[in-house]
Structure 1
């Protein structure tokens, strides 16, 4: 797996100018001046960053440049051939910017208020009924070889004056050699954007990724920055921030007029903005160039500086006939920030090493200190107020079937500039290395393993079926799998067999499916199974499988029921932003514990249930991508909602009971760049009619009924009550709520870095017709159940520890009985 991770890191994602100078701009007290304007005679310009640093690139020789900053004297600097870095100090000027705004008010606030009030007149997605354009994008991961020292360090050991061994560290030298010839990664994309009926869709006409014949859809769909600078929430690297021109922006940001500069022949105000909060990761910082006539955004620079230094630049072209600034070019860049921990982005495709290995020593600079990710796009072939209908507007991205098969003629037509020698070399070298090292096949293999499968020829063997343990079956050993594309793209066979060492019984399942709709991932499936399942457990048919080497919660479960079922279902993504399953099933159920179901005086020790079920997951805020292999959720967003309805079919195939069940859950999750994460889960169920205990609700208990705390130590579950005993509560209707917040990992020792997670769970429920259930002794959740706890996850090599406390109306009389201590284990595959 480490080898796979290294190859994935190597194959990650600007064109290098022929002439480039760097520098820093300071005031007389040697304090950096952020966002000062740097301009050449040919109107090539840039601005300094928040630290006053700048990089000025040009395809022609730079003889001089001008530095300007509001309130300071403009300075002209001559460029020397042998000098690449310039430290510029500006003197304050005595004359002030002409005040043309309300007295006693920050002039920048007056400008921003007018920008906000005129947004609908200046936002292309509000002013124009429709538009379409094409975009050429190039994304690379590279480094400036001049930044790397490239030395070879060596050390020798001696014994009896004889040299015995030489250790050579040539990593910097090798990295500089590589980066001088090629980029680490490179990809190109040509897209068509269409806007209409307040929806924007991207259709990818061509895509090319160095080292890969088939596109990596995860990279193609990755959202780096917002397309519109007028959205109330501006997105930068999959994190949303309050926009500095949102309706409530003035409560979050401070503003300052920096300068007045011309853009595309129109005068603009240069407005600096910064979040009012002191924490750098709390909000955006940057510069807006505001048209002095119509108060539209003519250029925008958005930046976040924290564990990563991320910047997004938007440039616009003025369209006189539409009286609007329309998006022209965008650029997105990531370099390393201040980070103690290693930071992985794009699924581990690029990594920035932590700044120090321990609290006492600083580490030697590595390749990641010089590596940057740069994505540049330019728009062309723009049409306004078009009447062309958009096909499947609910899709966020659609990739044409032949997008990865475009010839050089196609790329030469759409590239803004022809590929330089270094970019050409990148394709040649990475393609040859990919073939030699079988990178694509290794990547496919890695994806399968992450999802819990080992591909062997036409079959993906299921790792979850190999071995597990529970208190009823004992050790459960087995073998299972599903056919893959090597067998057939339109037909599949799946199944498993297992044996329990404690109950001494075999279990098995066999099923098949045929694809009846490629674009909507529609499959018609049928299966037969004989197996056991935990009583009163809730399963959503549309839930994606979560792979674990082991599932610790069932270890202590003793109450199962045997089932023999025939099923037929249709699964499809035909409804926009959803995935649904409609299923018919006939199931024979036999409880494997002391239980009878009393229905009108008749005692059932086993029964038949014939049901129809519809299960649907709805992700209204996610983006969906149509690929040549089907429809995928490319941009997973929260909240998301899952609904499931089950109805028994009276007098059909010997069905014994009449009932209905409604289940739902809502999930919300927010991740932060500094490693923190908040998740919320609301789940409930409601049953109507005659439902046996096997198919009611147990609200996910995970505690042993033992005398001491030590005896009750078990593995923690993901969404289970750690202080609730197995079979303590049953409900015919319930509501469950959980909130978790995980803080960034804390470094105690080099290999001891726990992640603190605060957890609170609560549930309410009720049981109708308790007289129907004979055998088990249980309670109901009428008064509610409450617990809170602390988890210290990944303390050492994935092992963690948690403590939970039970309180409220169902608190137990003995204090120690309300405490549960749990062991956790998080498997980190390094991806």
Structure 2
């Protein structure tokens, strides 16, 4: 419950300060507009995961989290804002994991070389954990959630000490790019060895170059208050990312390449129903260890009964797929969500029904190179279907999913995932 209490505390804090300011008859309309803008900006910052101060914004992501390896993870982080400088920025965090008894941190900064194209050069030093098999796009907008459901059950992490330099550049309003050169020292926190060329690795170095592009051809933009603002979030959207690791560069141990792709399309129907399709694919070639390959966003705990597996459903995860059950060096997933118009029962009680269909396909080349780790592959189609009833009370709802098809399990209950959902927006 700490996260739920923390949500209530933050929302209370964000409104309490304003509620204590008594209205005065002498306040003119201009001042009321200014106060409204400030309040809107404050709530927007909270919604993006920041608590704003004069010269920096406190990053709420680092206050408290929980996972199976670190247990509770807590700390502080933040980034300077425009009041500090519109040309330079500093950011970082420090956190502590109680179960693994270890500190993790990041120190970073950047400077803007071109305001019109929003071009930044960034430097970072990170000593932290990363989920094995996860793949993130550099150009993704910051995503913040008061509650991160998958994180609660993840137990497969590798430690990485990474030094990087990156270039963010807006090619146009519709096309964003980011390029990053990184050098990492990686140590799996679990029993794993990668064998290639007659050499066995547990710890290894990786030097890589990434190029990421995010293309939103159907979004609309306008200049408002001398700043370009997105006025229509258009679909489909496309994201590409190319990764190349170079052996012997800065002591790197491996040569491998990765190509990742994602497209999101959304249809809004006349009756206000929304259908959303998300296609994600990735392929890795060369000597890529398991840390840099792919899982398929699993979110099911390896426990005996349905009630023991009761947890929180993710936003884009396979609810019936067990953690560490599948890994691939080539994979694709398709997720289809149809959200019905919320039921207008009362002004405050408007639950929403969502139907979901998910599918995954993949394969693993040279599976024998990965030692001490047992996992399956996805040569046949993995399928699950489910439904959610969201926002039943205080943002919480219920989720049900069923696993069918080629990877259907013998025991009926092993194919079922029953969880609650959490949706809140500010």
TM-score, normalised with respect to structure 2: 0.91
Shift of 1:629: 5.9
Distance 1:635 1:429, change over 3 A: same
RMSD over aligned Cα atoms: 2.2
Quote the Cα distance in structure 1 between the aligned partners of 2:109 and 2:269: 41
Quote the Cα distance in structure 2 between the aligned partners of 1:432 and 1:483: 27
Q: Does the 8 Å contact 2:71/2:98 carry over to 1?
A: yes
Q: Secondary structure at the match of 1:532?
A: strand
Quote the Cα distance in structure 2 between the aligned partners of 1:502 and 1:3: 30
Shift of 1:550: 2.0
Q: Secondary structure at the match of 1:793?
A: strand
CA offsets 1:152-191 (integer angstroms, 9 cap, x no match) = xxxxxxxxxxxxxxxxxxxxxxxxxxxxxxxxxxxxxxxx
Equivalent in the alignment of 2:6: none
Equivalent in the alignment of 1:466: 63
CA offsets 1:59-98 (integer angstroms, 9 cap, x no match) = xxxxxxxxxxxxxxxxxxxxxxxxxxxxxxxxxxxxxxxx
CA offsets 1:761-800 (integer angstroms, 9 cap, x no match) = 0010000110110011110000120000011111122110
Quote the Cα distance in structure 2 between the aligned partners of 1:750 and 1:431: 31
Shift of 1:711: 0.7
Q: Does the 8 Å contact 1:522/1:574 carry over to 2?
A: no
Q: Does the 8 Å contact 1:464/1:550 carry over to 2?
A: no
Instruction: Tell whether 2:313 aligns with 1:716.
Output: yes
Distance 1:679 1:480, change over 3 A: same
Distance 1:487 1:653, change over 3 A: same
Shift of 1:635: 2.1
CA offsets 1:601-626 (integer angstroms, 9 cap, x no match) = 21101100001100010011112335
Q: Does the 8 Å contact 2:130/2:159 carry over to 1?
A: yes
Quote the Cα distance in structure 2 between the aligned partners of 1:752 and 1:811: 37
Q: Secondary structure at the match of 1:712?
A: coil
Shift of 1:441: 2.5
1:640 aligns with one of 214, 237, 259? 237
2:33 aligns with one of 427, 434, 453? 434
Shift of 1:707: 1.2
Distance 1:4 1:469, change over 3 A: closer
After superposition, where does 1:393-412 map in structure 2 within 5 Å?
A: none
Shift of 1:708: 0.9
Q: Does the 8 Å contact 1:580/1:617 carry over to 2?
A: yes
Q: Secondary structure at the match of 1:827?
A: coil
Equivalent in the alignment of 1:787: 384
Q: Does the 8 Å contact 2:209/2:245 carry over to 1?
A: yes
Distance 1:749 1:429, change over 3 A: closer
2:105 aligns with one of 491, 508, 514? 508
CA offsets 1:494-526 (integer angstroms, 9 cap, x no match) = 000000000000000011110111011110111
After superposition, where does 1:346-745 map in structure 2 within 5 Å?
A: 429-434=28-33, 438-575=35-172, 577-626=174-223, 630-672=227-269, 675-745=272-342
Q: Does the 8 Å contact 2:164/2:181 carry over to 1?
A: yes
Quote the Cα distance in structure 2 between the aligned partners of 1:727 and 1:3: 39
Shift of 1:752: 4.8
Equivalent in the alignment of 1:828: 425
Shift of 1:810: 0.6
Shift of 1:443: 2.6
2:400 aligns with one of 803, 811, 827? 803
Q: Does the 8 Å contact 1:519/1:631 carry over to 2?
A: no
TM-score, normalised with respect to structure 1: 0.48
Which segments of 5 or more consecutive residues in structure 2 lack a partner in the other structure?
Answer: 1-10, 19-26
Equivalent in the alignment of 2:4: none
Quote the Cα distance in structure 2 between the aligned partners of 1:813 and 1:753: 38
Equivalent in the alignment of 1:377: none
CA offsets 1:552-598 (integer angstroms, 9 cap, x no match) = 11111111000000010110112451110011000111000010011
CA offsets 1:264-291 (integer angstroms, 9 cap, x no match) = xxxxxxxxxxxxxxxxxxxxxxxxxxxx
Name which structure has the greater RCO, CA cutoff 8 Å, separation 6+: 2
Quote the Cα distance in structure 1 between the aligned partners of 2:193 and 2:304: 29
After superposition, where does 1:731-770 map in structure 2 within 5 Å?
A: 731-747=328-344, 752-770=349-367
Quote the Cα distance in structure 2 between the aligned partners of 1:616 and 1:557: 28
Q: Does the 8 Å contact 2:181/2:209 carry over to 1?
A: yes
Q: Does the 8 Å contact 1:751/1:796 carry over to 2?
A: no
Quote the Cα distance in structure 2 between the aligned partners of 1:628 and 1:568: 32
Quote the Cα distance in structure 2 between the aligned partners of 1:673 and 1:553: 33
Quote the Cα distance in structure 2 between the aligned partners of 1:595 and 1:767: 17
Q: Secondary structure at the match of 1:715?
A: coil
Quote the Cα distance in structure 1 between the aligned partners of 2:342 and 2:163: 47
Quote the Cα distance in structure 2 between the aligned partners of 1:557 and 1:432: 49
Q: Does the 8 Å contact 1:518/1:629 carry over to 2?
A: no
After superposition, where does 1:14-163 map in structure 2 within 5 Å?
A: none
Say how many residue pairs are matched. 408
